[in-house]
Amino acid sequence: HALAAVDDGTGKVRGHREITADDAGHLVAIRWVSGLDDDRVWAIEDCRHVSQRLERALIAAGERVVRVPPERMGASRKGERERGKSDEIDALAVARAVVKDGVEGFPAAYLDHRAMEIRLISDHRGDLVADRTRVVNRLRWHLLVLCPELESSLKPKALNNARVLDRVDRRLRKLTGDARVRIARELITQLRALNRQIDQLHRELAELVAAHRPSLLAEQGCGALTAAILIGHTSGNHQFRKEVLADSQNGDGGVALDGDGIVGNDRTT
């Protein structure tokens, strides 16, 4: 991604930066703008597929993001006469389009305090679920060698259940204590801890969602986890709520705000 920082009071360019389109690059971007100004807005070109990960990272970090349609960038892009990379020129055009028309003239996405809390807990729970999946897969490989008939009898999510883990552990205790048995039992210990954490976070999210947006829980097919995703990805972004709901039901659950530029007034964006 190409980034351009512009002061929205003077239109002066504060700097350019290129980042990689991954988590490391997103951290670099936030560190960079944090050194320029504490009060800032990110202007991102609305192309829906280029910078989705960047947008998600920004909102999760508490940043405010506005979406800039390409047609709003035309005049600003034509006004850039100096030589330079096209990506840098596009980034500057995005930023200056927002400087010209004002931040309030563009759809914005951000999270208030309560929505941010729900987003953070929901994301943390999702990370733990991914960790659990990896541990389950490792355990099943060991069980395939140690107790193939037991492994084949386990349903896909069986190892999320404490009683099933107890049953598997009892079976392993009867085997010769070689390295594979020891590792398998250690994985069971990890799964017990992960299951407790994941269940606790689920209960916590249910309470937070019920207090923050109880109307969502009344919607058909919208439980606490789905509601938490919707709150975490749409608060402060009412115009795109239907769009995000459709993404969530398709297994994506993301907000699609894409592009390059940054702007701000005594804010750097």
Provide the phi-psi class of 40: left if phi over 0, else alpha when psi is between -120 and 50, else beta.
beta
Provide mean pLDDT across the span 173-198: 95
What is the DSSP code string of 158-197?
GGGSHHHHHHHHHHHHTS---HHHHHHHHHHHHHHHHHHH
Annotated domain spans of the chain: 2-110+256-263, 113-235
The whole-angstrom separation of Cα 190 and Cα 96 is 51
pLDDT in tens, 189-230: 999 999 999 999 999 999 999 998 898 888 888 999 999 988
pLDDT in tens, 21-54: 888 988 888 888 888 877 888 888 876 566 677 8
Q: Mind listing the pLDDT tens digit for each residue in 124-175?
A: 999 999 999 999 999 999 999 999 999 999 999 999 999 999 999 999 999 9
Of the listed ranges 74-83, 111-120, 141-150, the least confidently predicted one is 74-83
pLDDT for 247 = 39
Task: Note the Cα 149 to chain centre separation in Å.
Answer: 39
Nearest to 191 by CA among 163, 170, 228: 163
**Does residue 56 carry a pLDDT above 50?**
yes
How many Cα atoms within 13 Å fall on the side-chain side of residue 32? 20
Per-residue model confidence (pLDDT) at position 50: 66
Residue 267 has a pLDDT of 42
Tens of pLDDT, residues 3-14: 888 887 777 888
Residue 208, judged by CB atoms within 10 A of its CB (0-12, 13-18, 19+), counts as: buried
